[in-house]
């Protein structure tokens, strides 16, 4: 069972860094490249093609606009999944930290809002898993960097790392033999170097 988590294209800059914004011109270009790649012979490696059976999206504008690009050439509708919504607070400040790499992490308790968001991310993954199981096909979810990072942390059962994810980058999860496999983080083969942004 495969689940592909795609970060939306670059949003327009907005006052106060509003989390619900339309795609920027560059974001539209990124989403177009992603869609063209997915509609062609999208390859994860020499042996594995990336196929998509269904598309789900966060309700936020930049994700829905990115999903529209993806769905058009694939001939698939996008279903809105509210648990894919981004956190409304900066996640990096909520994670445990330490004074040096490999030092023991401080015993600071995770905040209630982060624990709630982590529970949301787990619910999102459970919903995507159910969708993939019912259809027997891979699911592609267009969502946000904080949600994707938190799903990966939930799978790893560790809140001690932060991921930097690129716009329209793909993170691939595969469930087999009773465990999750993280096969790709930030897959961006479909984006020319000038289009790679965080």
Distance separating alpha carbons of residues 98 and 10, to the nearest angstrom: 31
Residue 129 has pLDDT above 80, yes or no: yes
Percent of the chain with pLDDT over 90: 74
Mean pLDDT of the chain: 91
Average pLDDT over residues 175-179: 91
Backbone angles phi, psi at 32, to 5 degrees: -65, -40
CB 153 within 8 A of CB 180: no
Residue 15 has pLDDT above 80, yes or no: no
CB 10 within 8 A of CB 32: no
Residue 193 has pLDDT above 90, yes or no: yes
Average pLDDT over residues 139-167: 95
For residue 160, what pLDDT is reported? 86
2-9+20-89+108-195: CATH topology: Rossmann fold (3.40.50)
CA distances from 146 to 40, 49, 163 (A): 29, 27, 8
Instruction: Please provide the DSSP assignment of 55-88 as one string.
Output: EEE-SSHHHHHHHHHHHHHHT--EEE-GGGPPPS
Q: Pick the residue with more confidence: 106 or 116?
A: 116
Which of 31, 65, 22 is closest to 191 using CA atoms? 31
Q: Per-residue confidence at 98, pLDDT binned at 50, 70, 90?
A: low
């Amino acid at each position: 069972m495969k689940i592909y988590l795609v970060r939306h294209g670059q949003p327009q800059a907005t006052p106060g860094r509003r989390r619900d914004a339309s795609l920027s011109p560059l974001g539209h270009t990124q989403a177009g490249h992603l869609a063209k790649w997915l509609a062609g012979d999208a390859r994860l490696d020499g042996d594995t093609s990336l196929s998509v059976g269904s598309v789900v999206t966060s309700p936020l504008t930049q994700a829905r606009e990115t999903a529209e690009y993806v769905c058009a050439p694939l001939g698939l509708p996008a279903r809105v999944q509210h648990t894919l919504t981004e956190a409304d607070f900066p996640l990096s400040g909520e994670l445990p930290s330490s004074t040096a790499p490999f030092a023991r992490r401080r015993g600071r308790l995770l905040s209630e809002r982060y624990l709630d968001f982590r529970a949301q991310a787990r619910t999102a993954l459970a919903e995507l898993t159910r969708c993939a199981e019912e259809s027997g096909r891979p699911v592609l979810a267009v969502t946000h960097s904080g949600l994707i990072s938190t799903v990966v942390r939930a799978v790893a059962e560790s809140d001690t790392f932060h991921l930097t994810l690129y716009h329209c980058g793909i993170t691939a999860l595969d469930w087999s033999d009773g465990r999750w496999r993280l096969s790709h983080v930030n897959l961006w083969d479909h984006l020319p170097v000038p289009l790679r942004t965080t």
